[in-house]
Amino acid sequence: MILKPSEVTHFDNLHSGTGSVIIEKILQPGTVDGLDLFAKVTVEVGANIGYHEHTDDSEGYYILSGEAEFMDSDQSVRKAWPGDLCLIVKGESHGIVNIGKAPLIFLAVVF
């Protein structure tokens, strides 16, 4: 199976964050059992995805390019770079901020 982006959505202030985020959904819920989302996410310069909780699922961000500050479930903030996997499990919270001079691009997997 080869899938291509099937839906591209532009968000402003995602999860009470600030700025612009583009989500290119490659895999929709129900396509593969146990995998709810596989998407390419672009967080514009100066933008962020607000701190939010995952009550029913887990999520990983695999950073492809850019520089970020990732707020973990304990609200500690760590820098994230290309090649890093930011992982949140069910019942935990997280947020991410683009701190670079270029768009922050990562793969998001919700399971």
Provide the 3-class DSSP secondary structure of residue 71: strand
Q: Look up tokens 């961000």; give the residue.
A: 61
Q: Could you report the per-residue pLDDT of 24-73, keeping only the tens digit for each?
A: 999 888 888 999 999 999 999 999 999 999 999 999 999 999 999 999 99
Residue 78 banded pLDDT, cuts 50, 70, 90: very high
At residue 69, the pLDDT reads 98
At residue 1, the pLDDT reads 83
Give the count of beta carbons closer than 10 Å to the beta carbon of residue 85. 12
Beta bridge partners of 52: 94
Number of H helices, E strands in the chain: 0, 10
At residue 94, the pLDDT reads 97
The pTM of the whole model exceeds 0.85: yes
